[in-house]
Structure 1
């Protein structure tokens, strides 16, 4: 378990906090490019405890600015997005994507006020259908480059990316994915149907864990016995500051994972990615990711999962109908006859367990066990890294090297005397255009 003080350090991400300061070292993926139209209505965004509005101007550039006009505090979510700028509807002050004032119609022509006033703004770039922002204090010439995350660099047809809001702090969500002991249990069935019951992991529900600290974060390996001579290794990856990678396992194998981007202390933006490293995504897989499967959710939030709350609500279009106030649409009859959990799909099952009780769980009440080794080590690494930066300005080693993030999760069947870290060294390194590197 964690002390109350350590728990507070890990989950508080607003301006001036220890963890919030570390998070601001990194570029943050925060919205799908397709959800920002040229001259469209600004969308309210909340990141690291700051409420902002995102917009795409007439020239196609993305801006991320304060949600409050610096003149008299009017809401910028109502602003007119026109002629390469965002114009407040109260007095007509207009701002560009860089935060500079472009026009003050109520001021004298010779007034120099617009040279002194700016709206808070953060730089944005786009890659692979995702908009990224940098909220740190570093000037442009010393900012780190975008991280070379494989899912954000493969061809568009190879990847599916989805966004949703989850009602818990970012660490609870992250810990749910780097814990692979739960998968064959929580996501299992009590009947004989479906592909989940065919998972190799179902053969041994008492895995042994080995964890290894890496320059990029943490490798969390679970070992299951297949037979007297063979072990099945699944290696989940945690990549600083909030990425998790899950190994392939289905008949249509792909690599997948999440960015668990902190909205604030109690809410998380869950960006899920699934991709194939060398070929277009299987059409069957893409279809069920986008549309769901027979009324159930997969790892991705389907197009049917949302209740659009409008542009004034932070991430209004990413809010799901599967949430605490709806009981995650739990189905007791399905629990009795079919699904172990009774919850309607993979990500819903995870979200309900991660956030169904409290948005910030009191970790002093935990009773950790051997399968939680990776979680405990990841927490310790995060605390050490965040405190080092807060106390002495020490940055994580190689964090500004974009290739540090070229990592894959793996699932390998190995002879019992072969070490997973040696066998997985090559396959765990992502190389654009190259296959899995081992037999699935």
Structure 2
């Protein structure tokens, strides 16, 4: 059981917290590149409990600053993004993307001191459609992440989107490393005779209670849920947790399943979910045997219009205020949850736990082995980081390239790590990155 003190350590991410400090050692996805236009108004950005503003200057460079002007603490959200900097509209002080003060127009020239004033600024960069922030204390930031899903250079081949979730980052993330809920929340109204007979995902309906192998890895943790398949073979669903808040879910054919998800804490009770994947992925079980879509198994999300509030980005139209548009009639017929959409089904259930779930109320089972192992791994790394030990993969992110998720069938004479390594070697890699097979 996760104790109250462990839960506090796992879920609190603000400045000065052990978890927040550990996460700040990594580059963090902050926004989609498409959210910032040159010389456009700044955007409010809530990240790890800090109120920030983000903007793109005249040269296309990105600034991520504390929203408070260091003069009188008026919010720079109301600033003018102009001529390679952001000008506070209270007294006209101007700052560049690095926080340097460029101008103090309300101070006589002979008494100005711009060289002694600096706005709090975080390192920012962008690559392949994502704006990254480094919020740690290092003079030189660590290398950027380089696992498959974030290295797809061709915009036409990558799928990226964000969704805000109104709950703690950990309960959102744990939904991605919990394999057995697939057979219920998403597919509970289906039986094997109803679905696409060519999909390996049908084995999850034949046997909804898999057994597990779980292990610590250099990048975090991994599991392989396994069930009997055809004669002398085993059906595997493999997924990963990667520090500090990434997952690689199992729902898709392993051979081309290039995907990752970041569960980035906005604050303790709000999370920004970043999805990145290869468009040529073969999706998991989605079709009935006649080729039509399984009821409720849609993928797309419908959003409310973004607004300029601290929590105003990427909110779903179906949400707690309308019970996620649950259809109770459909729930009794062919949609187990009554909620339309794979992501929305997950969102409804993880948000229903509350802003931060009371972990002392849980009764975990063998089906939660990956969750308990991952919590332990995170706790160990967080405590070690507090003692000055670099968190996993910060300085050598290439080790994360050993992680790939998905499902496959192999001969049951092969051990799980060997089966995983064989699939890694046989799989497609669209990114040009080196992949390291587990041994």
| TM-score normalised by length of structure 1 | 0.89
CA gap 1:295/1:243 in 2 versus in 1, 3 angstroms: same
Matched, 1:249 2:244: no
CA gap 1:428/1:237 in 2 versus in 1, 3 angstroms: farther
Are the aligned partners of 1:225 and 1:232 in contact in 2 as well (CA < 8 Å)? Answer: yes
State the Cα distance separating 1:88 from its structure 2 match: 1.1
Matched, 1:333 2:332: no
Could you tell me which residue of structure 2 aligns to residue 54 of structure 1?
A: 54
Cα distance in structure 1, aligned partners of 2:315 and 2:338? 21
Could you tell me which residue of structure 1 aligns to residue 187 of structure 2?
A: 188
Q: How do residues 302-381 of structure 1 correspond to structure 2 at under 5 angstroms?
A: 302=301, 305-311=302-308, 313-381=309-377
CA gap 1:98/1:437 in 2 versus in 1, 3 angstroms: closer
Cα distance in structure 1, aligned partners of 2:218 and 2:151? 21
Are the aligned partners of 1:248 and 1:255 in contact in 2 as well (CA < 8 Å)? Answer: no
Could you tell me which residue of structure 2 aligns to residue 31 of structure 1?
A: 31
Which digits, 9 at most, give the CA deviation of each residue in 1:299-345, with x for residues without a partner? 4x53xx2112412x125231222222222121212212220001120
Could you tell me which residue of structure 2 aligns to residue 174 of structure 1?
A: 173
| TM-score normalised by length of structure 2 | 0.89
Could you tell me which residue of structure 1 aligns to residue 235 of structure 2?
A: 232
CA gap 1:426/1:281 in 2 versus in 1, 3 angstroms: closer
Q: How do residues 103-118 of structure 1 correspond to structure 2 at under 5 angstroms?
A: 103-118=103-118
Are the aligned partners of 1:187 and 1:196 in contact in 2 as well (CA < 8 Å)? Answer: no
Could you tell me which residue of structure 2 aligns to residue 395 of structure 1?
A: 390
CA gap 1:355/1:248 in 2 versus in 1, 3 angstroms: closer
Cα distance in structure 2, aligned partners of 1:88 and 1:398? 39
State the Cα distance separating 1:112 from its structure 2 match: 3.9
CA gap 1:209/1:309 in 2 versus in 1, 3 angstroms: same
SS at match of 2:380: helix
- Out of 273, 278, 291, the residue aligned to residue 276 of structure 2 is 273
Are the aligned partners of 1:157 and 1:281 in contact in 2 as well (CA < 8 Å)? Answer: no
CA gap 1:281/1:159 in 2 versus in 1, 3 angstroms: farther
Q: How do residues 138-157 of structure 1 correspond to structure 2 at under 5 angstroms?
A: 138-140=138-140, 143-154=141-152, 155-157=154-156
Matched, 1:162 2:161: yes
Which digits, 9 at most, give the CA deviation of each residue in 1:27-46, with x for residues without a partner? 00111101101111111111
Cα distance in structure 1, aligned partners of 2:436 and 2:259? 16
Which digits, 9 at most, give the CA deviation of each residue in 1:191-218, with x for residues without a partner? 6767699523222111001101111111
State the Cα distance separating 1:114 from its structure 2 match: 1.4
Query: Aligned residue pairs: how many?
Result: 419
Are the aligned partners of 1:217 and 1:238 in contact in 2 as well (CA < 8 Å)? Answer: yes
State the Cα distance separating 1:228 from its structure 2 match: 3.7
Are the aligned partners of 2:161 and 2:274 in contact in 1 as well (CA < 8 Å)? Answer: yes
CA gap 1:226/1:18 in 2 versus in 1, 3 angstroms: same
Cα distance in structure 2, aligned partners of 1:254 and 1:164? 21
Matched, 1:405 2:400: yes
SS at match of 2:110: coil
Residue ranges of structure 2 left out of the alignment (5+ in a row): 284-292
Are the aligned partners of 2:216 and 2:222 in contact in 1 as well (CA < 8 Å)? Answer: yes
Cα distance in structure 1, aligned partners of 2:384 and 2:434? 38
Cα distance in structure 2, aligned partners of 1:295 and 1:399? 42
